[in-house]
Every structure is written in structure tokens, then in C-alpha cells.
Amino acid sequence: MARLLANTFDRSLARTLLWLVPLVVVLLLVPQVTDIYQTQLFTYGLVFAIAALGFNLLLGYTGLLSFGHSAYFGLGAYSAAFMVRYLGIGSMELYILGGLLITGAVSAIFGYICVRHTRIFFAILTLALSQVLWTLAYKFFWVTGGTDGIRVPFNQLTLVGGLFEFSARGAYASFMHAYYYYVLFLFLCSVVLMWVIVHSPFGKALQAIRDNETRAQFLGIRIIRYRWLAFLVSGCFTGLAGILWVPLNGLVTPDILYWPFSGEIVFMTLLGGFRNFTGPIVGAVVFNYLKTFAVASTAYWQFMLGFVLLVLVMALPIGLVGAASRLGAWVRVRWGGATSAAKYRERRGGEAT
């Protein structure tokens, strides 16, 4: 039995590496084969993918729909902005450390309040709490800058403990190349960490809670505690995305705390498919390009974007990744069936002769 499990794991690992290694190679080559704008656009996609991964831990694996994840994205962003404005810190590593501590603390408090409820009550409660933070950021303009926001210039930023600096004139191109690889590294680490989480006993317990809460409770799983931990991890992932977003955007305003941005995170996840691990990643990248194209195409970009997303969600309710998986399975069955039939006829023909 142990040998069978080991062989199954080896085959699964081999199939994963078969597509993962070429994909990583392609990601490493992106800045070399595209211009600065496309590199920046794809970097935005990777940042949003981290946020969608964190959100999907609640939606796809725990069965909780949150309409307030803009709160944790915004907390991460404002934490970095406050360090620049009030502490004069330029180290990206300190932004990440401080931002994760603040986001984790607030996620723990909000999670303690929210996870005692489920379904629409949970969703509305997360939305309400996120709007409290938006109101604070909007009204306390002497601290947050209000609608003017807080500027975070890239030339004050240092990466890898000061190893990379961008204070020279015309250093934006070198900043984008270095920052892309910085975000890519953290993105890959986030993907690996999330994969370990969802395939661990903790992740399996979350899926048991999602599928049947009553049976999970009978098995001894402490429902509230597991949901709270999932909420905490989800908030930290989304907060990390907010921190990484700041140097790219260069300006932090209350808009990222407002409820429409929470809706965008939900759309990213649904677009790619929340029942697949890679669905939120694909959905975030595709959504980023869709929104960019819509904004550049028409003044009514909200209508255009909403229409396209509505059609995609209705036509592909399982998401882009889910549809691609089903299509691949159908092709394998048809191709495999045709190949097996041909081999059978060939063998019977050989036996007849």
C-alpha cells in the first residue's frame, strides 16, 4: 500500500513538474521579451494573483464568501505608505514585515467577529467592517491624505536589504526589471505555501467543513477555530498583495478600501474558477488585462467590463481553468478511446493472420 501511494505521488509530482518548470522559465523571460509597460502590467497581474489566492482559501476551500477583502489589501498598502510618509523607511522588506503584522492583527480581530456567522450574514459583516476602514481613511484626511492619497515614489525604495537602489535619474526601467523578479519570487513562494496549506491536514479539514459542517464537527474538528485561522491566513496573503502593489502604483488612496475593489477580487476568483487551485491565479491575470483593455477602449469601460464578465461567468460557470480542464479531459478520453480501439483492431488483425 505504501509503495502504491509512493508511486502515485511520484507520478503526480512528475506531471506537475512537466508543466511547472517550462512555465517558470517563461515567467523568468517576461522582462527580456516585453517592453516596460507590458512588464509592469504583468507584475500587476501577479500581485492580484496573490490576493486572489488568499481570498480563495476562504471561498473555494472553506466555503465562506467575503465581500470585504479590500480591507486587508488596503491595510497592507497603507501600512507601507505610512512607513514612507511618517517613518522615512525605504526598505521593501520592512514594508512587508510591518504590513503583515498590522494586516494579521486586524484580520485576527475581524475574523473573530465574522467567522461565527456563515452565508449571507458572513458576507455582509465582512463588507460592513471593510467600509468602516474606508470611512476612516476617507475622513481622517490629515493622516491618510484623503482622496489625494499618499505618494510612494519608487526612487526611495530599496530591495533585498539595500542591494538594489533606484535613486539615479532615469532608473525606472531598471526598477521595473528588478521589481518584477522581486514580485515573481514572492508570488512563487506564495503559491508553494498556499499549495502546502490546502494539501495539509489543516486544508483537508477546511474542505471537510465546506462540504459538511455537521459531519466535520462530529469528527472533532473545531469549526470556529479552523475558520478563524483560514480567515487570518487569507487576510495576510491579501495584505501581502497590497504591500507589493504600492511601489507599482506609486499612490495610495481610499479607493482600494472601497467595496468595488472587493468585488474585483471576487470576480478574479470566479473568472478563473474557485474550485481549482490555479483558477484564481489565471483569473487575476486575465481580469487585469480585461480591465486595462476596457479602460483604454471606451469611457463606458465599467459597462463593457461588466458585460464581458457576465457573459464569461454565465457561459463558463466553472471558470476558465475548470473549462480548460474539462476540455482536456474530453480530448484525452476521445483520443485515448480512439487509440485504444485502433490498437485493439490491429491486435485482432494480427491474431487473424
Q: Is the pLDDT of residue 353 over 50?
A: no
According to the model, what pLDDT value does residue 231 have?
A: 93
Asked whether residue 344 carries a pLDDT value surpassing 90, the answer given is no
Residue 66 pLDDT > 80: yes
Q: Which three cell numbers stand for residue 77?
A: 498598502
Over pLDDT 70: what percentage of the chain? 89
**What does the pLDDT average to over 203-216?**
87
Residue 184 pLDDT level (bands cut at 50, 70, 90): very high
Beta bridge partners of 252: 150
The arithmetic mean of pLDDT across residues 195-208, rounded, is 90
pLDDT band at residue 7 using 50, 70 and 90 as cut-offs: low
CA 287 from centre of chain: 12
What is the per-residue pLDDT for 346? 56
Q: Which of 218-232, 263-277, 332-346 has the lowest mean pLDDT?
A: 332-346
Q: What is the pLDDT of residues 236-252, one digit of tens each?
A: 999 999 999 999 988 88
All cell numbers assigned to 143: 493622516
Whole-number average pLDDT of the chain: 83
pTM as predicted: 0.87
